[in-house]
Chains A and B, each alone.
Chain A
Amino acid sequence: MGGLQIPLEHVLLIASCLFSCGLAGLMLRRNLIFMLMSLEVMLNSAALAFVAAGARWGQPDGQIIFLFILSIAAAEVAVGLGLVLQIQRRFKTLDMDQANRLRG
């Protein structure tokens, strides 16, 4: 099964929309879990753009960058969720506007 021929512009447009959504979410949400989710959305949209670029040239490089984004996301989520647990334990809240001191 071959790939699909669609205008690259459209894919990039979708990726842009997803990215903007993620960014809006990041600015809007106060809960750390949701902020992390917004970050995931943004990373994912970047991955989409890379894969689209890879598909444009029929080269594996786009997918490889996707793999790296995947590993970054995995590492980021692992540490981020660890932080979520710690913050919940220390501040008894996940509201990032309240958890604004450096020393907990």
Chain B
Amino acid sequence: MMESLFYGASAVALLATVAALTRANAAHALIYLIVSLLAVAVLFFLMGAPFAAALEIVVYAGAIMVLFVFVIMMLNLGEAGNSREREWLAPRKWIVPGILAGILLLELVLAVRHAPDNTSGVEVPPKMVGLTLFGPYVLAVEIASLLLLTGLVGAYHIGRRFIVRRDFSRPGDNS
């Protein structure tokens, strides 16, 4: 039962990912991507990593992807954008990326082929994750926080001038 759930979720994840990356409409692609992420969250949960599963939903699906939707809504390219995307997705353009990705997949399959181990079947509870995170990994946490701070400042700086504030006090100037 659980095994079949696992393989089902894997199939959903794969199919949704493929679908996500071949859509012309960004919103549709995002919905597929979210489905894929939820499927991966199920995989995490089944492998005994409930904390990672929850975070995958809360942070990945619930926050990061919302940002994507937000930007798509802000840009709101509409049908024109979709048709152009469709044009860019012509079968001819698939050849090189397809071949390269195929070779990579082949190589990866060759590389992981000899892993005879099973997953342990032990659930790693959030408390243990937390203790390890703030124990041996505390320096990495600091670095990650620094990275996030950098991301924050960078995003603020880069995104700041997207909305040009009109100066309403000077009616003649509409630049």
Contact = CB atoms under 8 A, between A and B. Distances in A.
Chain A directly contacts chain B within the complex, with at least one CB pair under 8 Å: yes
Interface in A62-104: 62-64, 66-68, 70-79, 81-86, 88-89, 94
A63 to B, nearest CB: 5
Contact of A6 (B74, B96, B118): B118
Given A64-B133, A76-B151, A3 B120 contact: yes
Contacts of B29: 34, 37
A58 B162 contact: no
Contact of A75 (B109, B129, B150): B150
B52 A74 contact: no
Contacts of A51: 44, 47, 49, 52
A44 B60 contact: yes
Contact of A86 (B33, B59, B162): B162
Interface in B106-160: 108-109, 112-113, 115-124, 128-129, 131-133, 137, 140, 144-145, 147-148, 150-152, 154-159
Interface in A2-36: 2-14, 16-31, 33-34, 36
A29 B112 CA distance: 28
Interface of B: 2-3, 6-7, 10, 13-14, 17-18, 20-21, 26, 29-30, 33, 36-37, 40, 43-44, 46-49, 51-52, 55-56, 59-60, 63-64, 67-68, 70-72, 74-75, 77, 85, 88-89, 93-94, 96-98, 100-102, 104-105, 108-109, 112-113, 115-124, 128-129, 131-133, 137, 140, 144-145, 147-148, 150-152, 154-159, 161-162
Given A9-B112, A26-B97, A72-B144, 6 more contacts: A34-B26, A48-B43, A68-B140, A77-B67, A79-B151, A94-B75
